[in-house]
Structure 1
Amino acid sequence: MSSEPDTSASRRFRGIRRGATFLLGFACLLVLVAMIGLTCLDVVARYLFNSPVNGAYELTQLLLASLIFLALPLTTAAGEHIEVELLDGLKSNILKVFGAACAGIATVAVFAVVSLELAEHAEKLQRREQVTDSLEIPLYLIGWLGTASFTVSAIAAIFWTLRRLREKA
């Protein structure tokens, strides 16, 4: 049982989290299926018909970047990032809480800085109208997806850190 009261706000938050998790997971699934389908189609077209799919390599690169950006908030919300627990051997709960707080603040700060840098880069790509080489797909779309991903990951890291601090306290 949860130690926090089941208010309408907490039920609403859990519903939003479940919905966002479902949507991001489904988007990851679609991108992964598209990557697999594109690769299979490219291989079949290349070896059976001697005619590879135009831009398959380019599309695969964009789909892979999209997959990573879509999965990042899910990984953060689940607390599945690789972490080194240097302070867990300590006996003092105060030091453990302090270490968890510092790690959480650092994680949120890194995600926020990367999000801001990606936003600046995406804006430059959009202003300069940068596109991919063969298919001429606008690159700023991936930049803005990355910006959104790191922003959502920063928010997820805040909630993950708060949950972790409650557990350690």
Structure 2
Amino acid sequence: MLSQPHTNAPGRIARIRRGAAFLLGLACLLVLAALIGLTCVDVIARYAFNSPVTGAYELTEILLATLIFLALPLTTAAGEHIEVELLDGMKSSILKRLGTMAAAICTIGVFAVIALEMADHAGKLARRGRVTDSLEIPLSLVGWLGAVSFGLSALAALYFFTKRFREKA
């Protein structure tokens, strides 16, 4: 017996979004815990044993960049970026809607362009074999994470603004 294909795409997209949000949130939690743990161990080792953690500064820099890149799609999907509402005083709902649409297109476009530029830069870092000074961690990993993050943010912005227009329609 053949089963009918499911055509519940919005439900599937919502499940994927929730799953991605959970995984990104969990990754943010782990990175933040690693940052806290590293800082605590480094301070204790520095002052109690006069022996700081080797590469703690580099690791802190990389973990901070990682945290920001992991949180960016979550912030975008939640619509929690800072907004300046220049068209608030306008009476025309059509002009407000057009302004919101223009802002959405700009946001998605900027995120997409940054994702492409970061991917290009990460590729250059990988080809040149660029690594951190003391721990020799490949810098291209951070670049690729940033590229994926901005790509996901572009998709999250598209989802957020599509949902926003459906609710207002």
TM-score, normalised to structure 1, is 0.94
- Mapped to 2, the partners of 1:17 and 1:121 lie a distance apart of 28
| CA RMSD, 1 decimal | 1.0
Amino acid at match of 2:46: R
Looking at structure 2, the residues matched to 15 and 138 of structure 1 have their Cα atoms a distance apart, in angstroms, of: 34
Distance, in Å, in 1 between the alignment partners of 2:150 and 2:115 is 5
Structure 1: give runs of 5+ residues left out of the alignment. 1-6
Alignment partner, residue 50 of structure 2:
50
Alignment of 1:121-140 (within 5 A): 121-140=121-140
Aligned AA for 1:67?
L
Q: Secondary structure at the match of 2:54?
A: coil
CA distance in 2, matches of 1:161, 1:11: 17
Gaps of 5+ in 2: 1-6
Aligned to 2:93: 93
Aligned to 2:107: 107
Deviation of 1:14 after TM superposition, in Å, equals: 1.2
Identity of aligned residues (%): 69
Give the TM-score normalised by structure 2: 0.94
Quote the Cα distance in structure 2 between the aligned partners of 1:23 and 1:71. Answer: 11
Match of 1:4 in 2: none
Alignment of 1:20 with 2:17, yes or no, is: no
Q: Which letter maps to 2:21?
A: T
* Aligned-partner Cα distance in 2 for 1:123–1:107: 24
4+ aligned runs moved over 3 Å, structure 1? none
CA distance in 2, matches of 1:52, 1:159: 45
